[in-house]
Structure 1
C-alpha cells in the first residue's frame, strides 16, 4: 500500500495533466480542454469549479462503499456470524488494524479512484491526502492563473478552505492529531510531516472553516454563478455547512478525550473545555437563528405517519423522516431533503437495490448476502418512554410485562420488535411463521446464523417491506430505491448545540446568539416526533446524560456512536462494552397480533443476556496509524499502544 508521502505528493507530480470531471449531478459544465495544464485548469470559474468537482466526487458513501458494509462500530449494532470478517466484528474483538485491510469499510478502503462515479471506488483515508494535495495546489495557483469576478473567487476559495478542514477532521476523528498540511509540498524533496496534537489540528481546521464561513453564500441559487445551475446546487458547500463543521470541530475539541487524553475509568466524562464549548455553541446558535428565521432552505423533516410501522407517511407530507435515509418510488431521489446539511454525490443508487436494502431482515426473506444489521438490546434500551423519561427512571411507567407499550415514537419507526406485521403481501410462500415478526426467545426470526440474534431488527434506514414478498420476487425490488446516510443533518445541529450548552452550564445555558436553551434544543426534536420534554429534574451531569441519550436515539445507526463514545471517554467503560440480546417469552397467541397493535402485547421473563463483551483498553481510543507511515521518520509517531 502507498504510504502517506506517496499519496500527498502524487497529485503535485501530475498537476500539469490533472483529470477534471463533472460530477454526476452536472453542477456546472466545464470546458473540455480544462484537463490540459494549470493555466487552463485555473483560468476561469467553470474550469476551476470543474477541478473542485473531483473533490466532491471523492466523498465516500459510508453505507454503500461496497456490497455489504459496516459503518456502525459502537455498541449500537451487531451482525450475524457470517459477517465476522467485517469491520464491526473486528472492532468487537479489538482488531483495530482491520481498518487498513477491510475494503468494505468506508474509512480505510484502499481500492479507490478519484474520478470514478461508482460508490465502490471511494474511501476516506486515501482520498483525504489526495484531495488535500489537490486543494493546496489550487491555493498555490489561484492568484497567478484565475481571471474572474471577486464573487467567483470567493466561492472557489470558500470551498477549498472548507474541504481542507473537512478531510483533516474526518481523519482526526479516528486517528487523532495528524500533520495539518496547509501548503503545497515540494516534489523534489521528502518532507518531514510532524504530527500535531489533536487540539493543534483542531485550531488549524477552525481557521480554515472560519474563512469558509466568511466566503460562502447561504444559498448558491442566489449567486451569479449559481444561477446558471439552479436546481443542481443542493449538494454544494455553503455557509451553513461550514458553520456546522466549525461548531462540530470545536465541540470535538472541547470533548473529554481531546482535553484529557485516552484513559479508562470514565471519571472525566463530563469534563469539557468551557472555551471550546462556548465557541461550538455560538457556531450552532448562528445556524439555528438562520434556520428558524427562514433565511435558509433547511428544515426538519416531518414525523407524521398514517402507519409508522410501515413508514407510510400522511398524505399531506411531501418529505418524511424515513426519507432522510431511504426513498422508494421517487425516481431514485437522493435521501436527505431539506434536513440534510452535508452529503456527497450518490450516483450509485443501484447498490441500494441489490445488497444494502436486503441486509436488515431475516436472510430467507431478503435473499441476499447473509450479513444482517441488528440493533443490540442494550442500545434499544436508549429509546425511552413517550413521556420523555428513560426506561430506568422510577417515574417512567415502563413495565417489563408490556415492554413495547408507550415508548418514544421513534422506537416504532426505527425498531422491528416481536409481533410487528412483517409481511404485508397476500403471498407468503413457506414463510407463514414470519408474517408477524417472531422475535421472542426461540421465535421464528431468532436464528443466530441468518436472522436476529438480538430480538430486534432495525428499519430506520430501510423499511421492513424490502423483502421478497412485499417488493416482488425479482431482482427489481424495491422499486426505484435510493439509500444514503447524511454526514450532517439539521437535527444534529440541535443536538450538538444542546451538548455544547450543557457543557457550559446545564439545561438552562444558551448562547447569546440564540434564544434556545440546551433543554429547548432537545425539546425541538422531541416535539417533532411527539415525545415528552426533558424533565426538569435532570440537571448537571444527569442532564448531560439525557442529552447523550437523545443523541443515541435521534442519530441511531447513522454511524456516529463509536466516535461519540470515544470522545466522551466512555468507549472502554463496562456499560458500553457489552452487546446484549433481548430475551422474553411471548404470552399472546398469533390471533392477538392479527387484531391488536403489537405494542400492547404482554410478555414474560423480559431480560437481557450478554452476547459478547469488548476487551478494550486506553489504546483503543484511537485507530492505529499505518505502519508504513510511521516507519518513514521518527516525528510521525504511532498512536500509543499500537
Structure 2
C-alpha cells in the first residue's frame, strides 16, 4: 500500500498548513515525503522547526466533541445511553468493543477512529485517535532524526523543540497501550524498503520506553513558556504548549498505569499492584506537586465557588474553560466545538414543549450513590447519617453541583412560563420521582437523575439559553487536570509505599493527605480513620473519590479496566432510583421528603476477560505476524 501523505506547504504562522489522507496501520508507518521544502530549510531555524512541530498539537483527539452527539463516557457504571444504538457507550453495554472502529457503524461518534481524518484542519470531527497517533509518532521520529539540522537556534530553543517531540512520542504510545495493551514502540523513522517486523512488547516494556521519552521531555521543557525568551513571541498564548508539568503528569500516570492490576497481569501474570512501578509514580507526582505547592507553577486547584470554570464558561466572550486546574487539553478546533451537545443541556421540559431533541445520557443511580455525605462517609457506612426519607440532605457538595435531583428548580426565569406550564404541566421543578413527568424514558430521565455538571441552569428551552449553545457556552474536558494528579499520587503512594499514611521520600504529603486536599476544596470532611488502617479499605475510598471528583470526564472506563473491575459485580450493573415524593420543599429541595426509597436494576453488562483490552483492526493485525490480535478477539 502507498500512503497519500505529502505536506504541501511548510509555514510558521502558529500552525503548520498541510493535508493528508490516512488508511491503515501499515500506511501510517510507511516512509513518506514529509514536506515540499528541503530538509535543510525545514529544520534549520527554531521558527521553521516549531512550525513542523506544531502540527502534532493538531493530532490531539477531541474526545468530548468528536460528533454532534458523542459518547466518550463508554457505558461503564456511571451513565446510561438510550435512543441511539450507534453510540460507543451503547456498544460497550452490549460488549461490542469492535464499535470503536469506523467500519463498525460508528457514524463518527467515537473519537478513536474515522474515515475522514486530518492533522491540520480545524474540524473537530476529523480528529480521530488511531490514525493520528501513528501519524504523530512518525512525525516525532522525523523531527528527532533531523535535530542536527537545527543550526540557527539557541540552547533554549533547541530544548523546546526536542522536549515537545519526546513528549508527543511518549504520549501517543501511552494512549495506544492504555486501550490496546503492549504495542510496538516505534522510535525510528521506518523505511518503506524493509518489511515491518516491530514486535508487540508487554505493557510494562512499553511503559519503560515511554518513561524514557517523558522523562527527557520533563528535563528539557520549562514550567511556563511565557517565562522563556522563545515564548515571548506568543506571550499570553502559551498555556497549551507542552511544558515540564505536563510531561511529569503523564510520566506519573504512565508509571501508575503500568503498576495497576490489569497491566501487571498482562506483563507479569499477577493481578495485584506492582509496588515498584507505583513507587516510581508516587515519586514523579511528588516532584510535580512540590513545584505546585511551593508556588513555582501556574497551576492550582480551583476554589469550589468557581468549580464550574474547570468545565465550562457561559457568556464570557468565548473564554476557554479550565482555569488554573487544566494541565493538558486538546485545541479548540472550531466554533461549534464548544457546544458539547451530549455534555450539555438536558433539554429540560423538552417533551412538554414538543421539541424533538431528548436527553441521550443520564447518570445511573448506582453511580450517584458514590457521592456520599458531607461528613466524608460513604452512604452505606452505618455512621454516615444517610436518611432514605430525606435522601438529599447533607450530601457531598459535589452531588448538588453535578446532578439534577427531584425537586430541583430547572428553569432560571420562572416568569417565562405560561400559567398552563406552571399549573398543569408542572415543569419548573424536576419531577424525578417514580412516575414523574421528568421520568419519560424517551426524552428525560430513565434513572431518576439528570446531569448538570457541564452546563449552567439557563441552558434549557424555556430560558432560551439553548439559543446560545455553541456561541456563549464553551465546554471542554481536560485530558489531565490537577485534581487527578493529587488522586493518582494518593493511589500510587499508598500502593507503592504500603499504607494510607505513606508518602514519597522527601515529600510531606501522605496518600490520605492528597485525598483530603480534594475533599477540603469541596467542603467534604477528611477520609475517616476507619478507612486508613487497612490498604484495601483505603483503596475503596481512593476509587470512590476518583468516581466523585472525576465523574463523567471520561476516566471511569479505563479506571475500571486497570483495576480489573470492569466485569465484576456491582460495577457491571446500572440502576434507577425509585421513590415516591411525599413533600416537596421548593425553597430547599434538600429538605424534601420521599417514601419507598429503592433501586431497580435496569441493565447488566455481560462482559468477559477479553473486554479488558480493545480489539485491534483486523486489517492491521494481518500486516505481519508480530503485530497480533488481542486475546479473545
TM-score (norm 1): 0.90
Cα distance in 1, alignment partners of residues 340 and 408 from structure 2: 24
Deviations 1:211-253 (A, max 9, x none): 0011000111111101121101000111000000000000000
Cα distance in 2, alignment partners of residues 262 and 213 from structure 1: 26
Report what 1:482 is aligned to.
Answer: 474
Deviation for aligned residue 1:472? 4.4
**Structure-2 change in CA distance of 1:262 and 1:380 (3 Å):** farther
Report what 1:418 is aligned to.
Answer: 406
Deviation for aligned residue 1:340? 0.3
Deviation for aligned residue 1:190? 2.9
TM-score (norm 2): 0.91
Report what 1:618 is aligned to.
Answer: 609
Cα distance in 1, alignment partners of residues 437 and 13 from structure 2: 49
Deviations 1:367-406 (A, max 9, x none): 5643522111111000000000000000000111111110
Q: How do 1:49-198 and structure 2 match up within 5 A?
A: 49-101=50-102, 102=106, 103-198=108-203
Determine helix, strand or coil for the equivalent of 1:332.
coil
Q: Does 2:288 correspond to 1:324?
A: no
* Conserved 8 A contact 1:20-1:54: no
**Structure-2 change in CA distance of 1:354 and 1:395 (3 Å):** closer
Deviations 1:272-318 (A, max 9, x none): 111100000011011111011000000111102xxxxxxxxxxxxxx
Report what 2:206 is aligned to.
Answer: 201
Deviations 1:316-369 (A, max 9, x none): xxxx11011111111111110110000121132423348346553444469564
Report what 2:432 is aligned to.
Answer: 439
Deviation for aligned residue 1:19? 5.0
* Conserved 8 A contact 2:15-2:54: no
Cα distance in 2, alignment partners of residues 527 and 517 from structure 1: 15
Deviation for aligned residue 1:145? 4.7
Deviation for aligned residue 1:484? 0.6
* Conserved 8 A contact 2:572-2:605: yes
* Conserved 8 A contact 2:75-2:81: no
Runs of at least 4 residues off by over 6 Å: none
**Structure-2 change in CA distance of 1:583 and 1:559 (3 Å):** same
Deviation for aligned residue 1:69? 0.2
Q: Does 2:559 correspond to 1:564?
A: yes
**Structure-2 change in CA distance of 1:64 and 1:368 (3 Å):** farther
Q: Does 2:395 correspond to 1:407?
A: yes
* Conserved 8 A contact 1:580-1:610: yes
Cα distance in 1, alignment partners of residues 470 and 181 from structure 2: 40
**Structure-2 change in CA distance of 1:240 and 1:208 (3 Å):** same
Q: How do 1:300-339 and structure 2 match up within 5 A?
A: 300-304=301-305, 320-339=306-325
Q: How do 1:346-385 and structure 2 match up within 5 A?
A: 346-353=332-339, 355-356=341-342, 358-362=344-348, 363-364=350-351, 367=355, 369-370=357-358, 372-385=360-373
Determine helix, strand or coil for the equivalent of 1:615.
coil
Report what 1:502 is aligned to.
Answer: 494
**Structure-2 change in CA distance of 1:537 and 1:78 (3 Å):** closer
Report what 2:450 is aligned to.
Answer: 457
Deviation for aligned residue 1:262? 10
Q: Does 2:328 correspond to 1:342?
A: yes
**Structure-2 change in CA distance of 1:530 and 1:208 (3 Å):** same
Cα distance in 1, alignment partners of residues 76 and 439 from structure 2: 20
In the alignment, structure 1 segments of 5+ residues that lack a partner are: 27-33, 305-319
Q: How do 1:506-521 and structure 2 match up within 5 A?
A: 506-521=499-514
Report what 1:427 is aligned to.
Answer: 416
Deviation for aligned residue 1:501? 1.1
Determine helix, strand or coil for the equivalent of 1:398.
coil
Q: 2:378 aligns with which of 365, 390, 395?
A: 390
* Conserved 8 A contact 2:10-2:42: no
Deviation for aligned residue 1:448? 0.8
Report what 1:307 is aligned to.
Answer: none
Q: 2:523 aligns with which of 507, 530, 533?
A: 530
Determine helix, strand or coil for the equivalent of 2:145.
helix
**Structure-2 change in CA distance of 1:464 and 1:368 (3 Å):** farther
* Conserved 8 A contact 1:353-1:476: no
Deviation for aligned residue 1:192? 1.7
* Conserved 8 A contact 1:23-1:57: no
Determine helix, strand or coil for the equivalent of 1:604.
strand
Deviations 1:550-597 (A, max 9, x none): 0100000000000000000000101100011111111114xx32xx31
Cα distance in 1, alignment partners of residues 515 and 218 from structure 2: 25
Report what 1:228 is aligned to.
Answer: 233
**Structure-2 change in CA distance of 1:201 and 1:354 (3 Å):** closer
Report what 1:554 is aligned to.
Answer: 549
Higher relative contact order (CA 8 A, sep 6+): 1
In the alignment, structure 2 segments of 5+ residues that lack a partner are: 18-34
**Structure-2 change in CA distance of 1:537 and 1:79 (3 Å):** closer
Cα distance in 2, alignment partners of residues 501 and 89 from structure 1: 35
Determine helix, strand or coil for the equivalent of 1:341.
strand
Q: Does 2:591 correspond to 1:600?
A: yes
**Structure-2 change in CA distance of 1:52 and 1:360 (3 Å):** farther
* Conserved 8 A contact 2:150-2:158: no
Cα distance in 2, alignment partners of residues 334 and 25 from structure 1: 23
* Conserved 8 A contact 1:286-1:513: no
* Conserved 8 A contact 1:250-1:277: yes
Deviation for aligned residue 1:40? 2.1
Cα distance in 2, alignment partners of residues 25 and 135 from structure 1: 14
Which segment is superposed worse, 546-555 or 44-53?
44-53
Determine helix, strand or coil for the equivalent of 1:468.
coil
Report what 1:633 is aligned to.
Answer: 624
* Conserved 8 A contact 2:66-2:124: yes
